[in-house]
Amino acid sequence: MNDTTQFPPSFTWGVATSAFQIEGAAAEDGKGPSIWDTFCQQPGKIIDASNGDIACDHYHRYADDVDLMAALNIDAYRFSIAWSRVQPDGKGAWNERGFDFYDRLLDTLARKGLAAHLTLYHWDLPQGLQNEGGWLSRDTCHHFADYAQEVARRFGDRVQTIATHNEPWCTTNLGYGNGQFAPGVADAKSAVQVSHHLLLSHGLALQAMRAGGTKAKLGIVLNQWTADPATDSEADRQLARLEYARSVEWFMDPLFKGRYPELALEAHGANSPVIFENDFNDIGQALDFLGVNYYTRAFCSAEIPPRKPQGGLGFTDMDWEIYPQGLTDLLLGLQREYRLPPIYITENGMANADRLVNGHIADAERIDYVRSHLVALAAAMQQGVDVRGYFLWSLLDNFEWNSGYLKRFGIVHVDYETQRRTLKDSAIWYRNFIDAQRGR
């Protein structure tokens, strides 16, 4: 693995964040509560009993954070809008002070020459909508389309891309499948129905934004992985096929093939979703781009206890296997199976047990992780996969959902007591890597 891998001159280099994880200002300037604000108040839900009230205080420090990005010589910034900041109840009146924040952020990015890539939904549903059924209600799909249309009307000519959802698999399986994420429901039938409504809301939102004539490229961001059998046993191979069908194909097939995968539908059985007559037509809107988030693979073992991957490149601080080859395999598999639009790697990175020592953070493990995944990405591109950009997750250490502040994904260290930002070695490496790509 080396730093000489060449990407096209037009390739976009960026970093990514999400609103709830960094913004703070949880109840300022008219912002309404989201399901994550509510979830954090429930004892035992967040491992370190923290919340997103302050987080990285990005709401007040955004200009300094944009300066940090500019200093890294990146091209682009991927961020999300907090729906309840701009529409406190998820329907009804818009909150101009909330929109003002994103207006200022976009102005600041433009002044620094950074392209904006906007995500509409990164898991923080307005609590007002949750009170009326949340993603279990089809009404939420229509409220989401109204929200999307308004954001695109205001900002569509100032952002390069708009993604409807970030990782609907997580909302489905962690929010409703096992209750690990907000809103904390553990019900298999609800989870499957929610997945369908997320896809439907995506399609309705694309139609609403296009009807408004937005100039931004429109798409969706899916977290994906290969599913590899632990052994050659038929049981492991069958488990791997089912895992891929229930995760990758479950979201890709409706978007590109107008149906759900048979294998997954059979497995869901009576929990399969209620689907209205025109739903697949609504879901299957043409995509200008597909965002792919890749962190690790699924290692599928039917043994009890399950067999674990041996050796290899080790594990991240989330205990996720480091498996860059999976990124190559995933992209080539998608290319074989679907008629794909251009792809962005919208997230890739690792949690590492970083230590600040004498003002310095040596995170060689993260550098190795990113470097090896960029080599894997280049290998897929050399075999014809049309990838237009790479967004490293994440710019800042931040609120890592139910792990609270215990896990650090950032290339910039955040001291949560003082809010001091410190570039890690990985940030400097990333800047130098990008400069080398541009021949500087």
- Three-state secondary structure readout of 92-146: CCCCHHHHHHHHHHHHHHHHCCCEEEEEEECCCCEHHHHCCCHHHCHHHHHHHHH
Rounded CA separation 361/369 (Å):
16
Provide the 8-state DSSP code for 206: H
Q: How far is CA 346 from CA 40, 69, 125, in A?
A: 26, 16, 21
230 forms bridges with which residues in the sheet? none
Catalytic residue among 167, 243, 365, 400: 167
Q: What is the CA radius of gyration of the chain?
A: 21
Q: Which two tokens stand for residue 152?
A: 């695109």
Q: How far is CA 185 from CA 83, 171, 172, 179, 246, in A?
A: 21, 10, 10, 4, 19
Sole residue written with tokens 């280099």: 13
The letter for the amino acid at 31 is K
DSSP states of 341-385: --EEEEE---------BTTB---HHHHHHHHHHHHHHHHHHHTT-
Catalytic residue among 23, 243, 249, 347: 347
| 28 has catalytic annotation | no
| 347 has catalytic annotation | yes
Q: 414 and 56 in contact (C-beta within 8 Å)?
A: yes
Rounded CA separation 436/438 (Å):
5
Instruction: Supply φ then ψ for residue 26, to 5 degrees.
Output: -65, -25
Q: How far is CA 334 from CA 218, 249, 331, 377, in A?
A: 19, 9, 5, 13
Instruction: Supply φ then ψ for residue 358, to 5 degrees.
Output: 50, 45
Cis peptide before 183, with omega less than 30 degrees from 0? yes
Rounded CA separation 65/74 (Å):
13
In this structure, the strands spanning 76-80 and 227-229 are unpaired
Query: Annotated catalytic sites, by residue?
Result: 167, 347
